[in-house]
Chain A
Amino acid sequence: MSAALQPAAGTEILEVKSLSMRFGGLLAVDGVDFQVQRGSITALIGPNGAGKTTVFNCITGFYRPTAGQIRLRRADGSVAALQTLKDHRIARAGVARTFQNIRLFAGMTVLENLLIAQHIKLQKATGFGIGAMLGLSGYRAAEAEAIDRAAEWLRAIGLLDRADDIAGGLPYGAQRRLEIARAMCTMPALLCLDEPAAGLNPRESDDLAKLLVSIRDGTATASPPTSVLLIEHDMGIVMRISDHVVVLDHGRKIAEGPPDQVRNDRHVIAAYLGEDEEG
């Protein structure tokens, strides 16, 4: 692994502040604070039921948090308050995500999956369908550009030769990578990955780690460096590639810091070993 560049201080891309989420009587997330630094890979870990996925769904707009703020600071300095946005607006604001149980457009081809990710841009170029209907050149250029971007990502994930195959027919590991590429085709400021290594064999996990680092560093394609937030159970990957780790347990943050520090934190060890820490 290439040595990760230390992010400049005070350049957080995502700021989560006293985030809480209540389902009926259950307080699934309870006043969680953390930040994702620009250009970093931040991992959100914790035992089952710690509230990781809930935090994730709040950030990506699938849940509306009960309380708290989620701020996305984009490269141009503008700030989006994600907790107020609807899910599809969040994607447009610059947050892309993948899903724990892969959600590709299984009946469509690999390339189509990547073009749908660029829908917003392409749709604008069509002039609300009229231009494209008549085959105007503005749309053609936009489509060619979109295909080029898709092809670049396919090369990065090693699926260029499968571009015209049905996505649902790819092997499991390839589907995981494709889902990441699809998220990247939305050109996000922040990439959120929900257990990207789940179900991968060691070799595939290794490839994934390299891919994530290259996404962070902007070396995967011509796309600029992209910050990554991930939930992961595979501690090997987390410890190897994360710049920053946030640990949740029972809906609360119990520790955060660089991987080495978190690994030796006694709260974290207790949470994972199942000792009762709530006294």
Chain B
Amino acid sequence: MTTPQSASIAARLRAATLDALKATGIAFGLFVVMVGLRTDIGPTGALLLRTRWPDVAALCAAVFILRLVLALSVRPQQAAVTPARWAAGLSRAGLLFGPALLALALILPFIPGIGRYELDLGILVLTYVMLGWGLNIVVGLAGLLDLGYVAFYAVGAYSYALLAQYFGLSFWICLPLAGILAAFWGVLLGFPVLRLRGDYLAIVTLAFGEIIRIVLLNWVSLTGGPNGISGIPRPTFFGLPFSMGGGPGTFAGFFGLEPNPSHRVIFLYYLILALALLTNWVAMRIRRQPIGRAWEALREDEVACRALGINITNTKLTAFALGAMFAGFAGAFFATRQAFISPESFTFIESAIILAIVVLGGLGSQIGIAVAAIVMIGGFELFRDLDEYRMLVFGGAMVLIMVLRPRGLVGSRSPSVLLGARRE
């Protein structure tokens, strides 16, 4: 603040208060019905109304204070500079942060105090990291908003479950098959619709996601319908099962270890870590290649791509199929880990969560996605009581990020090729 005159302070204060009062009025209008009057199902089954005026008052007060603080603190210049500086700092920290995170992920199972629960949580987070990295190929690189990503996750999961059930194929054969099948479905669904404009594409992919779920739900003879498929074979250590018996043909027997149920969990943990890292490696590698650059060019300007001779439908299709393939891998992993799948696991909400992770991670930033998955999945898992608010926070954060910093929170894009580096 530079020598502010008291008059201008008073004027500012008055304007801010007025503004805050206006916002509070609107908040009151929004909350008075929806929060103030709660519908409950009474003992007779009829609906009853319960009043909650204090909650409305509290919410209005919160809006008033927040708005007042915001109006008083935000200055135009500051608002423009701070995020950029913050991001630059973050990206510098990111150089060390990434490897540190990777190292932590690698040794996690052997850190004292990390038990079964923590490892399961780690597996869950890593599944979302992998899905986020896979979807990032489609959304972050190619700029195609895919709202039905979970459909390919489902295709992968059901592929493994059904192949194992009907043909007795092992996980290690099914894993690539699940990815290939999911990619195949990606091509099949993508081919007719990838010509559409971005927003149409979004809603059509959403429709496809729902169609696949509804088919899984109703094709009872094949998929078991809402009951799902259970008894899906657990993975083996390249042929050696994790068995409590500990015979010579088992993992424990082969390596001469005491049979322990945590072996399988640790193995699953490393399996998903490897799959996630594979996703990351492929995505990073491809980004530096013609096809990856073409994806990014598509995201920037389709018309210009066409003028340069790039077949945009095929280029989009490769991104779509590759993203779908990784979802298929993740799906097969999910099936073997849970040993049970049902259509309930593949609702639109899942697609929305994965998209939210990609968006919060900064649309294109690999490390950002990992952090977003850790915070949003791991964080809420740790604070179970807040579970009700999880999606509210997800949705709110998506809006907030788009409004404040649409190109993402973490760092800026690193070029896929440098002239300078080559000359040196």
Contacts and interface: CB of A to CB of B under 8 A. Distances in A.
Interface of A: 60-62, 87-92, 96-97, 99, 103-109, 111-112, 115-117, 119-120, 122-123, 126, 129, 132-133, 143, 147, 150-151, 154, 160, 163-164, 182-183, 186
A103 to B, nearest CB: 4
Contact of A87 (B285, B286, B296, B306): B306
Contacts of A105: 296-297, 300-301, 304
Contact of A112 (B285, B415, B420): B415
Given A112-B417, A147-B419, A120 B309 contact: yes
B310 A88 contact: yes
Given A115-B290, A147-B419, A164-B415, A106 B300 contact: yes
Interface string B289-320: 11101101101110111111111100000100
Interface residues of B, number: 32
B87 to A, nearest CB: 15
The DSSP consensus for interface residues of chain A is helix
A52 B289 CA distance: 37
Contacts of A88: 305-306, 308-312
Contact of A97 (B296, B307, B416): B307
A116 B297 contact: yes
Contact of B308 (A62, A107, A117, A147): A117
Of all A-B residue pairs in the complex, the 4 with the closest CB atoms, nearest first, are: A91-B309, A163-B419, A105-B300, A122-B290
A245 B293 CA distance: 38
Contacts of A154: 419
Interface of B: 282, 285-286, 289-291, 293-294, 296-297, 299-301, 303-312, 318, 413, 415-420, 422
A112, A116, A151, A183, most chain B CB atoms within 10 A:
A116
Given A105-B296, A133-B286, A116 B310 contact: yes
Given A105-B297, A105-B301, A151-B419, A132 B307 contact: no
A91 B416 CA distance: 24
Contacts of B293: 108, 112, 115-116, 119
A108 B297 contact: yes
Contacts of A123: 290-291, 294
B405 to A, nearest CB: 14
A122 B303 CA distance: 20
25 contacts: A61-B306, A87-B306, A88-B306, A88-B309, A91-B306, A91-B307, A91-B308, A99-B304, A103-B303, A105-B296, A105-B297, A105-B300, A105-B304, A107-B296, A108-B300, A108-B415, A112-B416, A119-B308, A126-B291, A133-B289, A147-B417, A147-B419, A150-B419, A164-B418, A183-B307
A118 B359 CA distance: 31
A175 to B, nearest CB: 12
B286 A129 contact: yes
Given A108-B297, A133-B289, A99 B307 contact: yes
B415 A182 contact: no
A99 B417 contact: no
Given A126-B289, A183-B307, 10 more contacts: A62-B307, A87-B306, A88-B308, A92-B309, A105-B296, A107-B299, A108-B296, A108-B300, A112-B296, A123-B291
A96 to B, nearest CB: 7
B181 to A, nearest CB: 20
A163 B422 CA distance: 12
B413 A107 contact: yes
Contacts of B290: 115, 119, 122-123, 126, 132
Contacts of B303: 62, 99, 103
Contacts of B310: 88, 91, 116, 119-120
A120 B294 CA distance: 10
B419 A164 contact: yes
A147 B289 CA distance: 13
B140 to A, nearest CB: 12
A129 B291 contact: yes
